[in-house]
Amino acid sequence: MKTLTIIGGGSWGTALAVVLSRRFDSVRLWVYEADLAARMVETRQNDLYLPDILLPGNVHICNELSAAVDDASTLLSVVPSHLARSVYQQLLPFVNPSMAFVTATKGLENGSLLRISEVIRDVLRKAFEPSIAVLSGPSFAREVARGDPTAIVVASEDPALAAEVQSSFSGPTFRLYTSTDSTGVEIGGSVKNVIAIGAGVVTGLGLGHNVTAALITRGLAEITRLACAMGGRPQTMAGLAGLGDLVLTCTGDLSRNRMVGVELARGRKLDEIVNSMKMVAEGIKTTSAAVELARKFSVEMPITEQMFQMLHFGISPREAIQRLMERSLKGE
């Protein structure tokens, strides 16, 4: 009997539970909020993060980590990046080396500047050396949950693990491609959220399609420079986890990070925007880590830098755009 445990009951974790319920005999979905977990058991819906989507009968809601992880063959984590370390520290007594670990978190750990797969490895290697894969690509949770065709990437330094996850996760509406470039896949999935805030600013200022296209293109160049400096491959950035996810997050109305940029351009304060959101916009926290990584690896990332200045030092969205346009002229 194949059992999948999903750690994290937000919109993406819930959507993955729905789509992967067709591929596993049993899916356990760990939900942090006890009151939400109780409601989900009763109503079979996640009314807080993904309303109006019914949970299949083989999806079991858990509020205790030990019960959620017990006898699971695969553990898929979908927790916010800033909580990943603490969650895995809590998981440590209940996991074992026979499990396959998959992370679908699109973010970086501030301070350490580690990718989330590196955070997981850092915690679990206290007990054993884990097998880890990374899941990323263009995938709005609601569209995945309602069965819209979706294509994403699973990456691992262990090709056999990537192939195993590809085989067990792929279905009629959910197609996985494999990669051995975990670095590129994670950097693409993380930093695209920073560029998406800029795309939201462009939309909020009413600046039109020309600048959006330029922002996506130059944003991809930034992400590619950083990923390659860290050991990733440029081909990855031209694929689903790079260009694909970037285009989706910069143009889709369901993008939380894009929405943050739109609201900033309309004059709302960042704290007010964040406090009004039910879900995490990873790009806000990732911006700081991305800027530090750019400096560490001597990579030029002007869009990321201006988003950092806007989010953390209060320059206006219009000034951020102006600074980008008035930079010294360069070759492409």
Q: Which domains does the chain have, with CATH numbers?
A: 3-180 (3.40.50.720), 183-325 (1.10.1040.10)
Structure tokens at 306: 């201006």
Enumerate residues 6+ apart whose C-beta is below 8 A from 265.
200, 201, 202, 203, 204, 205, 317, 318
Tell me which amino acid residue 182 is: S
Instruction: Please check whether residue 178 is in contact with residue 166, taking contact to mean a CB–CB distance below 8 angstroms.
Output: yes
Instruction: Please check whether residue 195 is in contact with residue 303, taking contact to mean a CB–CB distance below 8 angstroms.
Output: yes
Structure tokens at 228: 């390659």
pLDDT score for 238 = 97
pLDDT score for 277 = 87
Structure tokens at 319: 């000034």
Is pLDDT of 262 > 90?
yes
Instruction: Please check whether residue 155 is in contact with residue 162, taking contact to mean a CB–CB distance below 8 angstroms.
Output: yes
- What residues are labeled active site? 192
- Mark out the alpha helices in 61-105 (DSSP H runs): 65-69, 84-91
Output phi, psi for 2, to 5 deg.
-90, 125
Helix, strand, or coil here: 26? strand
The CA-atom distances, in angstroms, between 26 and each of 65, 69, 137 are: 16, 12, 25
- The tens digit of pLDDT for each residue in 130-176 reads 999 999 999 999 999 999 999 999 999 999 999 999 999 999 999 99
The CA-atom distances, in angstroms, between 319 and each of 101, 211, 310, 325 are: 43, 15, 9, 10
Beta strands at 174-179 and 131-136: parallel, antiparallel or unpaired:
unpaired
For range 267-278, the mean pLDDT: 91
Is pLDDT of 45 > 90?
yes
The CA-atom distances, in angstroms, between 31 and each of 14, 89, 109, 228, 275 are: 9, 17, 22, 36, 21
Choice among 34-38, 235-239, 305-309, 328-332 with the minimum mean pLDDT: 328-332
Query: What's the CA gap between 272 and 254, in Å, rounded?
Result: 19
DSSP lists the bridge partners of residue 101 as 75, 132
Classify residue 240 by its DSSP letter: I
Is pLDDT of 272 > 70?
yes
pLDDT score for 280 = 79
For range 255-282, the mean pLDDT: 92
Q: Residue by residue, what is the 3-state secondary structure of 150-185? A: EEEEEECCCHHHHHHHHHHHCECCEEEEEECCHHHH
Is pLDDT of 1 > 70?
no
Q: Residue by residue, what is the 3-state secondary structure of 220-232? A: HHHHHHHHHHCCC
The H or E element that residue 325 is part of is helix 317-325
Closest CA to 293 of 138, 183, 212: 183
- The tens digit of pLDDT for each residue in 53-70 reads 999 999 999 999 999 999
Give the N- to C-terminal CA distance of the chain in Å, as an integer. 54
Q: Mean pLDDT across the chain, nearest whole number? A: 96
Helix, strand, or coil here: 54? strand
For range 11-30, the mean pLDDT: 97
pTM, to two decimals:
0.95
| Dihedral angle, C-alpha 307, 106, 251, 20, nearest 10 ° | -170
pLDDT score for 281 = 85
pLDDT score for 292 = 97
Q: Rounded to the nearest 5 degrees, what angle is found at the Cα of 46, between the Cα atoms of 21 and 134?
A: 50
pLDDT bracket for residue 278 (50, 70, 90): confident
